[in-house]
Structure 1
């Protein structure tokens, strides 16, 4: 099983938009996949946020989520994301990134020991961005 973290780009808008829609539904918002896709695309096109995606490979056989039909076993797929927004810190008098959104697909979350990727102490600042750091078992 291989996992990776990378910065999302415009070709990822559909997969990230699907996860973003699920993320909003988790917070009791109505499903609106088209608006979710549009929101994600606009943030990327306007360089208003940075989105990092977690991926897993085909060997990570998590099956299929019947609620959205998202295949979780064919090739590398986005299994979660974080969305960072640029801001500024008065104290450090410099730029900062605000981690506003963090979501891991429920099927993947259940398959990970202790759902470690959802624990804030596993996300670290590396250069400019927060990235997930897997702790050895």
Structure 2
């Protein structure tokens, strides 16, 4: 299977929103197609994230990646946080994840980012193997914390 990756366009948003809804379900969130459509659309139209689409040889979108611009204070440099990456289960093991990661790296270099950061579930061994095969290094020094805020 021949896979390519490119920046997403406005016309790609409906399909990417479908995949985003599946991505959220992978992380044990309830299905919500409208929430997925709204969230992806807002990030895209406000320029708050960069979206990449993976396409199969027929030109169908089979995966996506979303990058958020941020900064590393220690390095005093801009970075991307690769927050979302998802490939349709039917298209997995065909190179879409790899194509998205390589396209994200190329975009980060083009945009002058010092590095990219990501987190993944401890149980997502397939993704971890892919990241490490592309030179991503697991952080063994820092622990990640989060705090849920009341709405």
Q: TM-score, normalised by structure 2?
A: 0.64
1:85 to partner: Cα distance:
0.3
The match for 2:65 among 62, 79, 82 is 82
Count of aligned pairs: 110
2:81 paired with 1:98: yes
Q: Counterpart of 2:126?
A: none
Question: Gaps spanning 5+ residues in structure 1: where?
Answer: 59-75
Instruction: Give runs of ≥4 in structure 1 deviating > 6 Å.
Output: none
Write 1 or 2 for the structure with the bigger share of strand.
1
Q: Counterpart of 1:23?
A: 23
1:92 to partner: Cα distance:
2.2
Write 1 or 2 for the structure with the bigger share of helix.
2
Q: Counterpart of 2:53?
A: 53
Question: Gaps spanning 5+ residues in structure 2: where?
Answer: 117-133, 135-151
Q: Counterpart of 2:129?
A: none
2:106 paired with 1:123: no
User: RMSD of aligned C-alpha atoms?
Assistant: 2.6
